[in-house]
Amino acid sequence: MSENFNGNFTQQAPIPEDGIDAALDVLRSGRLHRYNLGPDEVGEVGLLEREFAAFTGARYALAVASGGYAMATALRALGVAPGEPVLTNAFTLAPVPGAIASVNAVPVFVGVTEDLTIDLDDLAAKAGAARVLMLSHMRGHMCDMDRLMEICDGAGITVIEDCAHTMGAAWNGVPSGRFGKIGCYSTQTYKHMNSGEGGFLVTDDDAVMARAILLSGSYMLYGRHGTVPPDAAFAEIKYTTPNVSGRMDHLRAAILRPQLRNLAQSCADWTARYRVIETGLRGTPGLRIIERPEAERFVGSSFQFLLLDWAAEKVEEVIARCARRGVELKWFGGAEPEGFTSRYDSWRYAPSAPMPASDRVLRGILDMRLPLTFSLEDCAMIARIIRSEVGSVFQAR
């Protein structure tokens, strides 16, 4: 008799009790705004910024309203101008090119490999096309960051890292977000910490951080931030930098601080679940596992595999058969964007020439969330279901 899975792929773990208690303290105080502080009080947002800076090893951290806001602020802090080209991944989620378009810049897409990372050969070929790369570590897959930085440093390209899926990950021991000039993170519900919406921007650069703080709506109260550059960094730009309010509030910061303390354990728990799925699917006929490099310390909060060169109707059959057994797979190869599965050729505000090699990869990507509400036994069952249904369709092709 066939197994059926009854879990919920969108059900996240609850907020820790100490986070709930801290949030209630903020609510009882009535002081939710980031600058509503008592004498000599740092506040939840400032404390969170200090703690996140320490976690990443960055000099400065800015807690903000969303990961998308962090990316747009990073672009503004670097002085990206309207009409300016910005390199970014062809395989990413819509908020990444959306952040570029939000400052009226122009996304220039770089291809994706079968390892689901940015195509470094294509990046090298396009290196002269822009002075900024918005690098997306899409779905937690990190490329060879040493080679990427060699290409970008050689071409004078400033790197912004989108670490929405790699908070807690590293390459050769260097944390995600610490290779480029700026790292951007998300705390949206389906990321590694959950505040509904939220995010961070980190950097070691005084001038970048000063501009980011002013952009986030400091109202000249920049001294109240958790990590603050010297006053000299603000001396001239405070008169010319617009207020684009978006710094985080105390309520979300209170929820996040306990999660940050538990993040290393959460990351380990996600990756344990990922490894169970990986083991269960390895060797499935017609299915390609994404092999993780030794240099990469990844966080397995989602799982991707490839059905390369399968006909569209057969991929759809796999998705439908798995769905009937309770396993939700998302496909980046559909003719129309659905949910979050849009692609570079879906974003008509960012026209691009066809990329046949990348199109082949995108047509084969299947994607699945792995919430911490799943047990290891759940993950083993999910793998058995996918293996069975992929195998059945593959044999009948």
Give the mean model confidence (pLDDT) for residues 372-393: 98
Between CA 303 and CA 274 the distance in angstroms is 7
Q: What is the DSSP string of 183-222?
A: EEEE-STTSSS-SSS-EEEEES-HHHHHHHHHHTT-TT-G
How many domains in the chain? 2
Cβ contacts of 229 within 8 Å, gap of 6 or more: 60, 206, 207, 209, 210, 213
Indicate whether 62 and 104 sit together in one domain: yes
Contact 132, 76 (CB under 8 A): no
Q: Is pLDDT above 90 for 119? A: yes
Query: What are the tens digits of pLDDT across the range 316-329?
Result: 999 999 999 999 99
Record the pTM: 0.96
Indicate whether 236 and 128 sit together in one domain: yes
Indicate whether 391 and 278 sit together in one domain: yes
DSSP SS3 for 45:
helix
**Cross-strand pairs, 185:** 200
Indicate whether 165 and 297 sit together in one domain: no
- What's the pLDDT score for residue 39? 86
Q: Within a domain: residue 109? A: yes
Indicate whether 214 and 334 sit together in one domain: no
Give the mean model confidence (pLDDT) for residues 150-170: 98
**12, 296, 378 from 8: Cα distances, Å:** 9, 29, 11
Q: What is the DSSP string of 254-295?
A: HHHHHHHHTHHHHHHHHHHHHHHHHHHHTT-TT-EE-PPPTT
Q: Within a domain: residue 238? A: yes
Range of the domain at 299: 264-396
Q: Within a domain: residue 4? A: no
- What's the pLDDT score for residue 155? 98
Indicate whether 354 and 291 sit together in one domain: yes
Structure-token pair, residue 132:
């900024």
- What's the pLDDT score for residue 336? 86
Give the mean model confidence (pLDDT) for residues 327-336: 92
Q: Which of 216, 238, 261 is the last residue of a domain?
A: 261
CATH number of residue 63's parent domain: 3.40.640.10
Query: What are the tens digits of pLDDT across the range 237-286?
Result: 999 999 999 999 999 999 999 999 999 999 999 999 999 999 999 999 99
Q: Which of 261, 294, 316 is the last residue of a domain?
A: 261
Q: Within a domain: residue 1? A: no
Structure-token pair, residue 112:
């994706």
Query: What are the tens digits of pLDDT across the range 34-78?
Result: 998 988 889 999 999 999 999 999 999 999 999 999 999 999 999
- What's the pLDDT score for residue 340? 86
Give the mean model confidence (pLDDT) for residues 86-94: 97
Q: pLDDT-based confidence at 88, cuts 50/70/90?
A: very high
Q: Within a domain: residue 125? A: yes
Q: Within a domain: residue 3? A: no
Contact 14, 373 (CB under 8 A): no
- Any alpha helices (H) in the chain, and if so which ranges? 17-29, 43-56, 67-77, 95-102, 120-125, 145-155, 206-215, 250-261, 263-281, 312-324, 356-364, 376-396
- What's the pLDDT score for residue 77? 98
Indicate whether 255 and 272 sit together in one domain: no
- What's the pLDDT score for residue 335? 82
CATH number of residue 339's parent domain: 3.90.1150.10
Indicate whether 244 and 293 sit together in one domain: no
Q: Which of 236, 261, 286 is the last residue of a domain?
A: 261
Indicate whether 58 and 186 sit together in one domain: yes
Q: DSSP assignment, residue 116?
A: S
Q: pLDDT-based confidence at 337, cuts 50/70/90?
A: confident
Per the listing, tokens 């060169």 go with: 309
Q: Within a domain: residue 6? A: no
Closest-CA residue to 182 (of 101, 297, 67):
67
Q: Is pLDDT above 70 for 1? A: no
Q: Within a domain: residue 147? A: yes
Angle, to 10 degrees, between the axis of helix 312-324 and the axis of helix 356-364? 20
Give the mean model confidence (pLDDT) for residues 273-302: 97
DSSP SS3 for 9:
coil
| Length of the chain as a residue count | 397
Residue 7 phi/psi, 5° resolution?
-75, 170
Neighbours of 305 (CB within 10 A): 22
Q: Which of 26-40, 98-112, 139-153 has the lowest mean pLDDT?
A: 26-40
Type of residue at 250: H
Q: What is the mean pLDDT of the chain?
A: 96
Indicate whether 295 and 181 sit together in one domain: no
**102, 306, 322 from 384: Cα distances, Å:** 43, 17, 10
Indicate whether 250 and 316 sit together in one domain: no
Indicate whether 218 and 277 sit together in one domain: no
- What's the pLDDT score for residue 67? 98
